[in-house]
Amino acid sequence: MHGTTHVLPRSAAVVTLFAALVLAGCSGPGREVDPGPGAARTDAGVSGNRAGEPAPAEPSPDAQVGLANTALVSESFHSSGTSTAFPGAKQEMWWEPAGGLRLRVTGSVSGDMYCDGGTSYTSAPLFAASLTSRGQSVTVPGRLEDTYVSTVLDTGCEVYFSIPATAKPAPDKDRGIDGGKALAYEASGAGTRDVYYLPDLSSPPKGAVRLGPLRLESTRSGRTSVTTYDSYGESFSITMPPESKIMTVEEFRAAVQG
């Protein structure tokens, strides 16, 4: 059995490590706000004005980020794009409020992560790859390649895709997407920058209004990635890993260091 060149982090640090490393652009949970008058909540999430009612007033910049986060949490969606964590890799994400989240990484690194009920399950190879990319070399024994490492989150699974509350309007980056105007919201920190493109709600179309993001452009220490969002409201089948294939961070640490 192979060991490691560094001590693996305790489980309390794993969520921050994995979210920051693998899920580019998901630098922290956003702040949800009430949709406000004129927005009707449906089983599929937040929709536009009901037939015969006046269109809702244009939301304030902060409110629009909240509306987007509400839509992301309450409505299913799919996203896909490149990765800042692993050069040459691609990522796909599926979210189903009633079924949980699935993330698939393919290319230079391959693996899956699931999340449901505030607990994430990361395939051992992907978990190890995320640690290795931070200088903690980990070799996964063959007998563990089909197992998943579980981590209990302090928040819900939306931590992996919510827009940060620090995102602010960046009108100089507004652009056209899918035939309509998209408003740019930027969140930045030490060596990181995320630009979310949200639909312009100043002139909402008739019927349901798409509130979730259209596109995300991320930068991490000079590496860039682009993520696009689609399939809002569609049904996805997401199945969590079987209990027999799940281990805790402590069990994973013992298995690779023993």
0.85 surpassed by pTM:
no
Whole-angstrom CA distances from 187 to 27, 173, 195 are 9, 13, 7
**Contact residues for 186 (Cβ-Cβ < 8 A; gap 6+):** 167, 168, 169, 170, 173, 193, 194, 195, 196
Provide the β-strand partners of residue 216: 196, 227
Does residue 27 carry a pLDDT above 60? no
Region 135-142: what's the mean pLDDT?
Answer: 83
Region 34-55: what's the mean pLDDT?
Answer: 33
Does residue 49 carry a pLDDT above 70? no
CB 236 within 8 A of CB 94: yes
**Model confidence band, residue 44 (pLDDT cutoffs 50, 70, 90):** very low
Say which DSSP state 200 is in: -
Helix pair angle (11-22, 249-257), 10° resolution: 90
CB 67 within 8 A of CB 59: yes
Residue ranges of domains in the chain: 11-165+232-257
CB 257 within 8 A of CB 3: yes
pLDDT of residue 258: 61
Beta-strand pair 246-248/100-106: unpaired
Q: What tens digit of pLDDT does each residue of 140-198 get? A: 888 999 999 999 988 889 999 999 988 999 999 999 888 888 999 999 888 889 999 99
% the chain with pLDDT above 90: 45
User: Which residue is it, tokens 């790859």?
Assistant: 129
